[in-house]
Amino acid sequence: MAVPTIALYASPPSSVCSSPYPCQINAHATYDFELNSRSSSTTSSSASSSQKPIVGGLSRLFSSPAVKHASFSGDREELGSLWHDRGDELKELGSSFCYTPSKYLAGSSTKRDQSPVSVLHGQVSCSSSPPMKITRERSGCDVGFQSSIHGSYRGGANGLFNGFVRNALGSCVDYDSPSFEVRRDGVDYGSSSVAVDELTFAMEDSFVEANYEPYAKELLLGAQSRHKIFCDDFVIKAFYEAEKAHRGQMRASGDPYLEHCVETAVLLAIIGANSSVVAAGLLHDSLDDSFLSYDYIFKTFGAGVADLVEGVSKLSQLSKLARENNTASKTVEADRLHTMFLAMADARAVLIKLADRLHNMITLDALPLVKQQRFAKETLQIFAPLANRLGISTWKEQLENLCFKHLNPDQHRHLSARLVESFDEAMIASAKEKLDKALTDEAISYHLHGRHKSLYSIHCKMSKYALPPSLPLSVTPTHGQAVFIKLIVTLIIIAAALAPALGSLKHELIVWKKLNMDQIHDIHGLRLIVEKKEDCYRALRVIQRLWSEVPGQFKDYITNPKFNGYRSLHTVVMGEGTVPLEVQIRTKEMHLQAEFGFAAHWRYKEGDCKHSSFVLQVVEWARWVITWQCETMSKDRPSIGCDDSIKPPCTFPTHSDGCPYSYKPHCGQDGPIFVIMIENDKMSVQEFPADSTVMDLLERAGRASSRWSAYGFPVKEELRPRLNRRPVHDATCKLKMGDVVELTPAIPDKSLSDYREEIQRMYEHGSATVSSTAPAVSGTVGRRS
Ligand SMILES: Nc1nc2c(ncn2[C@@H]2O[C@H](COP(=O)(O)OP(=O)(O)OP(=O)(O)O)[C@@H](O)[C@H]2O)c(=O)[nH]1
Ligand SMILES: Nc1ncnc2c1ncn2[C@@H]1O[C@H](COP(=O)(O)OP(=O)(O)OP(=O)(O)O)[C@@H](O)[C@H]1O
């Protein structure tokens, strides 16, 4: 039989994915566009209209036969799950308020993958005028890459891309290249440890033929019908290995474990990940839950995939630790965890972990309620913000909506029902069409996309502003005022509980606290991106001619930029009918700033948090890597029918001189490091300066505990540190981002009294046997003769 061979080449990741994916299904489409030259705008505008979502895309394409194997009962964090029709679930969780432009409908030959993190992205529908085509010149991304490696990427001593980020970009360029120079745990595997052609492999007969369970074949076929990347030999090989690794394992739902691996990989494929990432998605649980080793994956798939799988495994372990210790509920530690996740792992490993978590959340119902809650809490505190920081808004929204559903089922049900009534997607579509036409008539070049606000985002907005009805809506309380109002309301509620006479006042306040849905003006929104500043105002006039404006809602953040530099025009109009429509108008440059710069949306959404420049750099780097990764894929796809596909953001907006958030020398490539410290079974995420050692950690731990001796010296001998599960023999060894240091006192404080009691009992009862519950001590405890 024919033996397909696969070799890895030093080609860009997009090379395996150069064709359209005819059966790709987008649960939450995000579309990217560029400023085009005018002439055929009508095609895109009309095409992007009122199509229903293809949310059923993730629903089961086939039914898995029951597989008669014992349930897998590993104690890994991740869950078994009931597979149910996710089409319905997704519909309920937001997609019902989402629609997909017809030009990207499944089955369409012009369909393409969508980057989740595009510079010019929209979630619902998009159109663009075709006038000024911006060619993707070499000075774009490619050249940017080169310069980022060999010199200052952006120039300037204070450049955001200096130091850490520049290095990170270097590694980004090397993705998927076959240099295979890997350093793991300080071990240099050497650039020649696995040569490219050693990775050539042959499909085994058993793979093509027999050994498969029938369900596995169906799973593969199903994945292939949804995304063409699953026809790639490299990915098929990964599927085969995942099948072998998880054979016989079941999820709590009774479904084969492999299904989870495939769904995770499909989610990644949908957002445009390449074959290495999709393969790693298939294998993401194999290190923890099966007999596969890092070395085996390394030999079979190369360092790229092996490192990604290992990265995901490490993130899973950290997440499990954090969940068990409830670390995510502490704001500071949760923030450090976010940073550590992004900084310690290849950003793509975070992407895989997010896809894994998204599928687990989609199928959470199979778990007991307590676990559902624990996962939902952690997802809301750790993973949804990570998706937000990476700019993958579709995943962020799905994660949040799912958490909302599990944590506040009543409110979720209530709000869903209301939104089903009030959400008017046809209105967005027709407003877009109208605006498309008017802008074309005015010869304004533009990109336009519409979105509806997600369920959870509406919920947050409704509970955020505790405004008395007498205050005009345009007045938004500051954070401090909002906290104060909440405090007063809470006090009155408590007082009302104690004094029934205050009951009616309490009722008033509860009603008063909530912002009515009618008072939220951006449930339906359009964003218009134009070429020049003047065009913003020209477009505004066009909009004012088309619709009547809601008084008091116009904001000119171009003339008066926000404190963070955010620039845009905002207006709310009464679109078609009685539904308000928010329209944001900005130039492409302003949009870059709003997506990636100082005024980045993720920071706007995270609120008042003070982020160090290190955190900002890490986030921007991670977003950049993911953006590039996904968009390069789309870029090289000839089938799109036009060569104006997406250009990654190669230059970040610069920070002004003296900006407190810009790059600072003390926060350079060796920046702060975050490590996990586990002491007396309590976990904390600690921040250390670069070059810190285990000894520094011991000193910090000693200083904080009673073990700090009266002479000012830490009693280090008592702390037996283990670094990443291995005993530390040399305390001067350096700490690395994401290290886990366990401190196990030789005689644990807590157990000391137990220990004494045990000895006492031994003497009293003349027993020479130490109970198994007694803490281990060095040496043997025997009966005194
Ligand atoms: N990226 C980014 N977007 C922003 C920023 N400020 C506002 N926006 C966007 O603009 C929208 C409306 O902002 P504003 O017109 O200032 O509205 P507001 O006063 O906050 O009141 P609401 O619309 O009720 O929230 C937000 O929902 C965001 O989408 C910012 O600093 N950065
Ligand atoms: N009018 C709009 N048109 C298109 N996209 C928008 C519009 N307003 C916000 N977005 C985008 O929609 C996504 C979801 O934003 P979301 O509605 O949750 O919050 P927000 O509107 O930005 O902020 P807030 O809830 O504080 O008003 C973000 O990517 C945001 O940039």
Closest CA to 285 of 194, 367, 355: 355
Give me ligand 2 centre to Cα 549, in Å.
19
Question: Which tens digit of pLDDT belongs to each residue from 446-504?
Answer: 999 999 999 999 988 887 654 444 444 334 556 666 677 667 767 766 776 666 555 55
Q: Which residues line ligand 2 (CB under 6 A)?
A: 393, 449, 451, 453-454, 457, 461, 522, 525-527, 582, 584, 601
Q: What is the pLDDT of residue 749?
A: 53
CA 533 and chain centroid, separation: 33
Tell me what the mean pLDDT of segment 712-724 comes to. Answer: 65
Of the two residues 566 and 757, the one the predictor is more confident about is 566
- Which has more confidence, 673 or 450? 450
Q: What atom in ligand 1 is closest to the CA of residue 465?
A: 24
Lowest mean pLDDT among 15-24, 424-433, 593-602, 658-667: 15-24
Q: Give 364's pLDDT tier (boundaries 50, 70, 90).
A: very high
Residue closest to 285 by CA, chosen among 259, 304, 312: 312
CA distance 543 to 569: 12
The reported pLDDT for the residue numbered 341 is 86
Q: Cα–Cα distance between 696 and 412 in angstroms, integer? A: 47
**What is the residue with the minimal CA distance to atom 8 of ligand 2?**
525
Atom of ligand 1 nearest to the CA of 570: 15
What is the CA(453)–ligand 2 centre distance, in A? 7
Exposed/middle/buried for residue 537 (C-beta within 10 Å: 0-12, 13-18, 19+):
middle
Residue 594 CB less than 6 A away from ligand 1 = yes
| Range of weakest confidence among 27-31, 72-76, 562-566, 741-745 | 27-31
Give the Cβ contact number of residue 43 at 10 Å. 12
Determine whether the shortest distance from the Cβ of 464 to ligand 1 is under 6 A.
no
The contacts of residue 305 (CB under 8 Å, 6+ apart) are 238, 276, 279, 280, 283, 297
**Minimum mean pLDDT among 133-137, 448-452, 611-615: which range?**
133-137
Task: Output the CA–CA distances (angstroms, integers) from residue 580 to 97, 243, 525, 537, in the order listed.
Answer: 16, 51, 9, 20
Q: What is the pLDDT of residue 107?
A: 33
What would the two tokens of residue 779 be? 């040496």
Instruction: Please tell me the number of the ligand nearest to residue 397's CA.
Output: 2
Q: Does residue 133 have its Cβ closer than 6 Å to ligand 1?
A: no
Cα of 154 vs centre of ligand 1, distance in Å, is: 29
Q: Which of ligand 2's atoms lies nearest the C-alpha of 461?
A: 25
Residue 131 DSSP class: B
- Supply the pLDDT for residue 64: 31
For 686-697, b/e burial (b = at least 16 CB within 10 A) is bebeeebbbbbb
- Report the pLDDT value the prediction gives residue 566, as an integer from 0 to 100: 92
Pairing status of strand 726-727 against strand 682-688: unpaired
Name which residue sits closest to atom 17 of ligand 2, judged by CA: 453
> Which ligand 2 atom is nearest residue 582's CA?
1
Q: pLDDT value at position 235?
A: 96
Cβ–Cβ under 8 Å, residues 178 and 200:
no
Taking the CA of 431 as reference, the closest ligand is: 2
On whether the CB atoms of residues 582 and 570 are closer than 8 A, the answer is yes
- What distances in angstroms separate CA 178 from CA 167, 457, 628, one per listed residue? 18, 43, 19
Between 346-360, 655-669, 753-767, the lowest mean confidence (pLDDT) is in: 655-669
Band the pLDDT of 358: cuts 50, 70, 90: very high
641 Cα to the center of ligand 2, angstroms = 30
Tell me the pLDDT band of 710, cut-offs 50, 70 and 90: very low
Span from the CA of 438 to the centroid of ligand 2 (angstroms): 24
How high is the pLDDT of residue 188? 32
Residue given tokens 């980045």 in the structure block:
600
Is the interface score ipTM higher than 0.90?
A: yes
Contact status, residue 122 vs residue 451, Cβ threshold 8 Å: yes
How high does pLDDT run on average in the chain?
Answer: 66
Confidence at 219, pLDDT banded by 50, 70, 90: very high
Determine which of 45-54, 455-464, 583-592, 647-656 has the lowest per-residue pLDDT on average. Answer: 45-54
Q: Is the CB of 555 under 6 A from ligand 1?
A: yes
Higher per-residue confidence, 568 vs 211: 568
Q: Whose atoms come closest to the Cα of 566: which ligand?
A: 1
The bound ligand whose nearest atom lies closest to the alpha carbon of 605 is 2
Nearest ligand to the C-alpha atom of residue 570:
1
In this model, does residue 196 exceed pLDDT 50? Answer: no
> If you measure from the C-alpha of residue 524 to the centroid of ligand 1, how many angstroms do you get, rounded to a whole number?
14
**How close is the Cα of 546 to the center of ligand 1, in Å?**
23
Which strands sit side by side in the sheet containing 682-688, from one edge to the other? 682-688, 673-679, 740-745, 719-723, 726-727
When pLDDT is averaged across residues 170-177 and rounded to a whole number, the result is 28
Query: Is the Cβ–Cβ distance between 714 and 702 less than 8 Å?
Result: yes
Ligand 1 contact, 475 CB (< 6 A): no
Mean pLDDT along residues 367-392: 91
pLDDT at 101 over 70: no
Residue 633 sits at the vertex; the CA angle it makes with 630 and 637, to the nearest 5 degrees, is 145
| 553 CA closest ligand 1 atom index | 15
pLDDT digit string (tens) for 267-320? 999 988 889 999 999 999 999 877 889 999 999 999 989 999 999 999 998 888
- The more confident residue out of 309 and 195 is 309
Q: How far apart are CA 394 and CA 600, in angstroms?
A: 17
**Interaxial angle between packed helices 533-546 and 425-441, expressed in degrees from 0 to 180 and rounded to the nearest 10:** 120
Radius of gyration of the chain (CA): 28
**Rounded CA separation 411/610 (Å):** 31
Using the structure block, give the residue that is written with the tokens 């509406």: 458
What is the residue type of 243? E
**What digits encode the pLDDT tens for the residues 45-58?**
333 333 322 222 22
167 has a pLDDT exceeding 80? no
Neighbouring C-beta atoms of residue 364, cutoff 10 Å? 23
Which residue carries 């309920």 as its tokens?
92
Local structure of 527: helix, strand or coil = strand
What is the rounded distance in angstroms from the CA atom of residue 485 to the CA atom of residue 7?
63
